[in-house]
Structure 1
Amino acid sequence: MSQSLTAQARALPMAIVTYLERSASAKPTSAQATFVENAVVVDDDGKTYTGEPAITAWLAGSAAEFEYTTTLLRTEKDEAATTVINRIEGNFPGRSVDLSYRFELAAETGLIQNLTISI
């Protein structure tokens, strides 16, 4: 797994940059540290994971399933969220997909409170 972080990516909030780096690393569960305790993740299959144990298990499972590389295509920001569009290429069905990661951060901590991943 690898990821190319551009100047565009480095301009993102720290929790998002850290999540993107760690989730594509050799230790993806370390990305759990970027979430608030009661965070919610909705993955690209529409499954919802709430809280630290569920999100940690999701991070471990999604990383073990396939080998892939990630390339940041673009970012978008609105009042409620920051969205990162990544191209994922690897040994999974279809071999390539553009995924949208919509991050909502907690105002108090700057950590991820909601992450929605979609195709």
Structure 2
Amino acid sequence: MQPDLPDPIRRYVEANSILDADAMLAAFAPDAVVGDEARRHVGHDEIRAWIDEATIANQAVVTPTESRQDGDVTLMTGRVEGTFPGSPVTLTFRFTLRGDAITGLEIA
């Protein structure tokens, strides 16, 4: 059973499950910031490039296993499977939301 997730995160995860880059990007605010593998991606153009490089090219799909709220942050743990070396891996996703959009995502 997947954990209950706030709507913007649920939309991101659902889009990821079918590798829909446009729908994944739509979950982010225009000024959002993503941190992954010691790199920062700011704004839609950089986040789209990150989605294409990290997710689409590697067919990387996350299956959420748990989530919890920590103030205004949602921490989600998920199993990520794809065509990348070391797959599958368990990662922690730290989402910050504003309204109906993701404004921050840190992956560790």
Check whether TM > 0.5: yes
For structure 2, which runs of at least 5 residues remain unmatched after alignment?
Answer: none
Aligned-pair Cα RMSD in Å: 1.7
Q: State how far apart, in whole Å, the 2-side matches of 1:19 and 1:101 are.
A: 12
**CA deviation profile, 1:45-79 (whole Å, cap 9, x unmatched):** 11100001111111111223323443222112111
C-alpha contact (below 8 Å) 2:19/2:59 kept by paired residues? no
Larger Rg: 1
The verdict on how the C-alpha distance between 1:51 and 1:69 changes in structure 2, with shifts beyond 3 A counting, is: closer
What is the aligned counterpart of 1:113 among 93, 100, 103? Answer: 103
What are the residue-to-residue correspondences of 1:64-79 with 2, within 5 Å? 64-79=56-71
Count of residue pairs the alignment pairs up: 108
Structure 1 ranges of 4+ moved more than 6 A: none
Match of 1:86 in 2: 78
Please give the TM-score of this superposition, normalised by the length of structure 2: 0.88
Q: CA deviation at 1:39?
A: 0.5
Contact 2:21 2:56 in 1 (8 A): no
- Give me the identity figure in percent: 30
Unaligned runs of 5+ in 1: none
